[in-house]
Chain A
Amino acid sequence: MSRPSDYVDSGSAKRQPADDDNNSIEQPKLGFVGWIRFAWRQLTSMRTALFLLLMLAIAAVPGSLVPQRSSDPNGVTQYFRDNPSLAPVLDNMQFFDVYGSAWFSAIYLLLFISLIGCVIPRTKHHFQAMRARPPRTPARLNRLDSYTEQTVEGADAASAISSARTLLKKSGYRVEMYEGGGSLSVSAERGYLRETGNLVFHSALVGILLAIGVGGGFGYAGQRVVVEGQTFVNTLLDYNSFNPGRFFNPDTLSPYALTVDDFAVEYEKQNLDAYGQAIDYTAKVTTRSPGQEPEKQTIKVNEPLRYDNTDVYLLGNGYAPKITVRDPQGKAVFTDSVPFLPQDANLTSIGVVKVPDGLSDQLGMIGFFYPTAVKNASGAYTSTYPDLVYPLLTLNVYKGDLGINEGAPKSVYELVTDGMTQLTGGKTDVDSIELQPGQTADLPNGMGTVTFENSSPQQAAGNFDNTVPRFVSLDVHHDPSQGFVLLFAILVMLGLLTSLFVPRRRVWVKAVEKEDGSVTLQYAGLARGEDPGLRQAVDAIAYRHGTILGVPRDLRGTVKK
């Protein structure tokens, strides 16, 4: 069986009744092997493939309705908060991991098994078909839809058929001569590429699945926040987060270092409809590999850095104010550029400073940074422009237990204030500390001082360009399957094009010699698969053949009487 039994071969085939109305027929009992065969036939039938395809489409829908852990983990957390009773139920049914869920996997795996079960016998059959001779000419060609005929005088059947054979061969047909029943004929077939394309298409789909499933396991994806001037080293320890594939071996990490020298953002200033919209992000970096000269490179949003088997993407950015905390004696107990997470388009940002040691108490600060601070009517600050026009840092200070003494990892972007006392801001009646670059303020209770460092101290007063460093969020990926997926995708495309647009057809030309010395030439074609151009093709062959044989015609191609 080369094709599933419910496959419709010919595009012009008349509709056949569904074959499920034959219940009245007495059927023999199936044995064990019979049942296996039956199940396999069912699985590899066209109807099952179609059913599984539609199931796949339906099963993919929930993943767009509910946030997915893979693409939107924060959305999932939020969903649990908003729907505390529904979320666990959905979670049980793997609705937050739809595309890795048991039911989604079951559908596509069955679909691919069905596909393989269909493709293998078809490949075998196709190999045989490509080596076989075009089939014997049917006895009554005039029964075919595309039948046409013409009569020529003064020609013999043998030469007419031989010229038809040459013509068909030149047109890309494989030809075979047949003789019998008082007539000579040529049988021709073309368009084997259609089936080849179909098989390539389906095999390449399997290829994509395998490349993703196997090749993807050897890769990894890591995220790292790097402040201007800082260096990132490609080791497990230096990543902020790291997602290895199933078969990933940490020893395979390419040893290199990457320094972010400068990060420049360009804002729209002419178009008032888009004033302040970022129109360009450019990170200038230097890469260093052992035993090699440092290289200057550029990373932009649509231009990732391809370096040493990894792809480095620029996926986020923000401000990282440099903050120094000193004890009452003036000794620095904390100094760092702290990445502040942007909250809106004008980069109002929130960050956290934790000072565990060196002061009388552990100290925590929640900071708000406004690149262009404006006080609104209610007295609260907002940022009105994303660049540094009037930068302002406000700090709410807490003292007490930071909750990091047990060594348990805590988010650097979050301050748990449960065990702490608030000293400034909020309901404390003490104003938050407000700082501009270069300014220093006293901490409450004489605990010491805090300084918002100015990164460009030589700048004239009132010009805040580059006074606050920026950070970039880099994604570093290694995916050995990517190239294979692309290769298979190209094969999918080529296979699809040939399988849908190359017509597979058989054409026959038969010559019947008549008693009056004339020869009747019969032409007919048979479509195998969709073939809207069959009739025109047969007519064209008849016409061209007539021309070769010298059928008289006027200039418009009409046959002269």
Chain B
Amino acid sequence: MNLDELSVLSLWSAMAIYALAFIAFALDLAKRSAEVSAYADEQAAQASGAGSRVDGEQVASAGSAATTTTSRVSSTATIERVDEDASDVTPKRSATLRIGVALTIIGFLLHATADVTRGISAQRVPWANMYEFAMTGTLLIVMVFLMVIVKVDLRFLGTFVMGLVLILLGVSGVNFYVAVVPLPPALQSAWLIIHVFVASLGTAFFGLGFALSAIQLFQHRRELAGKDLKLLKLKFLATLPSSERLENLAYRVNIVGFIFWTFTLMAGSIWAERAWGRYWGWDTKEVWTFIIWVIYAGYIHARATRGWRGSRSAWLAIIGFAAVMFNFTIVNIFFKGLHAYSGL
């Protein structure tokens, strides 16, 4: 078995593990929904005054529980800040969720092995054609996800992240696979390492931002629908942060993506000048990179424009990521241009 075969094997193993992680994350969402139902039933029972509160501590506690206690000295009263952004229902500690994260980490290690062995077998960075770009790009999506959940509990995004990565890897593994071939002269440049890597990093952040914005929209609809948990369709939403908190998180992730995207655009221009004799020529891929940049610039403006915060700006982030995916798939395969390196 040569290195590339090992790489392919690791990649498919990683996908199998990711699929299990996806199931675990999905089960966790289902459990959250069940908890919300139970909580709603209990609330109803309490309101009717019939049942007594059984196991009250174990059942999730209502929002506004998350508080920050400020420093107290001697006799001063404790000041409690009400966290308006907290979820309505605090989910219980979930073993399924932890299994999902553990599986994601195992899958990530296999995925990283696939990526590194592909690079060693090709004796260059493993992102010189569509197959390799998809492999590295999805690796970065998972990496960014694992890094972010250390700081902020976004584990509820696991279903989305695993789903997206599985689809991208599946399509790439089946349709985009190409054998290792040497780089054509136009790609023999240090800018390949920088430009393409930063582009995939930007894509990873945009992907996460997309997920947060999409959930924000669902959450916003739920909040408009009122507080009655019994009428809720996607019950697990009640265990997620408020739409405003989701919006702020999405923004923070998307601006990091925007910085990387800006850098991709500039590094690409510098490289294009060396390889093609001009730094900007409205090549189809350049056009779409520009379009994506402008959409996200619009998104950042929308966040600072009255009447455009909230759902409208979330839609822009979603359109932006749709454009990123369009740029990666449709433009690469069907549009004529100088970025003809899909290897297909």
Chain A positions within 8 Å of B, measured between CB atoms, are 6-8, 11, 15-20, 46-47, 49-50, 53-54, 56-57, 60-61, 63-64, 67-68, 70-72, 75, 98-99, 145, 147-153, 221, 268, 271, 273-274, 277-281, 300-304, 311, 313, 315, 475, 477, 482, 485-486, 489, 492-493, 496-497, 500, 518, 520, 529-530, 532, 535, 539, 542-543, 546, 551, 559, 561
Contacts and interface: CB of A to CB of B under 8 A. Distances in A.
Interface in B1-46: none
Contact of A8 (B282, B304, B331): B304
Contacts of A551: 71, 73
B218 interface: no
A304 B274 contact: yes
B282 A68 contact: yes
A558 B316 CA distance: 44
Given A8-B309, A19-B306, A493 B266 contact: yes
Given A277-B181, A559-B71, A15 B309 contact: yes
Interface of B: 68, 70-76, 79, 81, 179-186, 188-189, 248, 251-252, 255, 258-259, 262-263, 266, 269-270, 273-279, 281-284, 287-288, 290-291, 294-295, 297-298, 300-310, 316, 331, 335-336
Given A54-B295, A60-B290, A64-B288, 4 more contacts: A16-B306, A150-B70, A274-B181, A311-B273
Contacts of B310: 15
B185 A301 contact: yes
Given A60-B294, A497-B259, A149 B274 contact: no
Contacts of B79: 147-149
A68 B68 CA distance: 59
B294 A49 contact: no
B185 A493 contact: no
Contacts of B284: 64
A315 B275 CA distance: 8
Given A6-B305, A492-B262, A273 B180 contact: yes
A148 B182 contact: no
26 contacts: A6-B306, A15-B309, A50-B308, A53-B294, A57-B298, A64-B287, A67-B336, A148-B70, A150-B71, A273-B180, A274-B181, A277-B181, A277-B184, A279-B182, A279-B184, A280-B185, A300-B185, A301-B275, A302-B186, A302-B275, A311-B273, A313-B276, A477-B277, A477-B278, A489-B266, A546-B71
Nearest to A282: B185
A304 B263 CA distance: 23
Given A50-B301, A274-B182, A543 B71 contact: yes
Contacts of A56: 294
A217 to B, nearest CB: 15
A302 B185 contact: yes
Given A57-B291, A551-B71, A271 B180 contact: yes
B282 A71 contact: yes
B305 A152 contact: no
Nearest to A9: B304
Q: Which of A8, A61, A497 has the most CB of B within 10 A?
A: A8
A273 B181 contact: yes
A98 B282 CA distance: 10
Contacts of B316: 54
Contacts of B263: 493
A18 B26 CA distance: 38
Contacts of B262: 492-493, 496
Contact of B306 (A7, A221, A475, A497): A7
A157 to B, nearest CB: 16
Contacts of A50: 298, 301-302, 305, 308
A492 B263 CA distance: 10
Contacts of B259: 496-497, 500
A548 to B, nearest CB: 13
A281 B309 contact: no
Nearest to B281: A71
A281 B185 contact: yes
B182 A277 contact: yes
A378 B252 CA distance: 64
Nearest to A490: B266
B76 A151 contact: yes
A520 B76 contact: yes
Q: Which of B81, B262, B278, B306 has the most CB of A within 10 A?
A: B306
Contact of A302 (B252, B274, B295, B304): B274
A5 B264 CA distance: 33
A18 B310 CA distance: 12
Contact of A475 (B74, B252, B277): B277
A346 B336 CA distance: 21
Nearest to A4: B305
A71 B283 contact: yes
Contact of B336 (A47, A54, A72): A72
Nearest to A266: B185
A346 B186 CA distance: 18
Given A6-B307, A301-B275, A543-B71, A532 B248 contact: yes
B125 to A, nearest CB: 15
Given A311-B277, A489-B269, A53 B305 contact: no
Contacts of A47: 305-308
